Amino acid sequence: MVTVGLAIDSMEILRLGIDGQLSVDPSDVETASLDFGLLTRGQPLAVLHPVSAQDISQVVKAVYGSNQVMTVSARGHGHSINGQAQTTNGVVIQMSGRKGGNKPPRPRVWAEERYVDVWGGELWIDVLKSTLEYGLAPKSWTDYLYLSVGGTLSNAGISGQAFNHGPQISNVYELDVVTGQ
């Protein structure tokens, strides 16, 4: 998860028509300002709870097309350290996204084809529960199941199963990459 320096009018970002929720709620901002271990703080202006890649794309596109310097950062379930998922004077994209009425899609298991479609902010425990309903399980997952899929894949996903099935990233068939274009 990378923080990218971008530009936008800070009020313009709040007027975007997205399906998710762009929050300036103090509790959301406070949560997004902390990293694991409480080592650093980065005070965002807003927190995006996306429900689709389109929500993320719209925010990134708006930030790129504006005049003020801001940053955008992706945050899963808050296990990053040293401020990797934080931003000051920008937007934190809360990839867990489970807030409000609209929510990102749950894991969708394709049992016959033996794969699962998963949102990047999904926890591995939820992926495992979804696949077990069909008598399946991921070939390689993290040793701590309360991490997000996107977070572990961003580090290749080295785990206890890697010696036998390769790292998690070697078992990915397809990724949606959001660039804001």
Specify the higher pLDDT residue, 107 or 12: 107
**What is this structure's pTM?**
0.74
| CATH number assigned to the domain comprising residue 45 | 3.30.43.10
User: 10-19, 28-37, 139-148, 164-173: which range is least confident on average?
Assistant: 10-19
Asked if 14 and 90 sit in the same domain, the reply is: yes
Asked if 18 and 69 sit in the same domain, the reply is: yes
Asked if 80 and 120 sit in the same domain, the reply is: no
In which domain, by residue range, is 66 found? 10-94
* Structural domain count, the chain: 2
Predicted confidence (pLDDT) per residue in 140-179, tens digit: 878 888 888 888 888 777 777 777 878 888 888 888 888 7
Copy the structure tokens of residue 39: 């080592």
Copy the structure tokens of residue 58: 């719209």
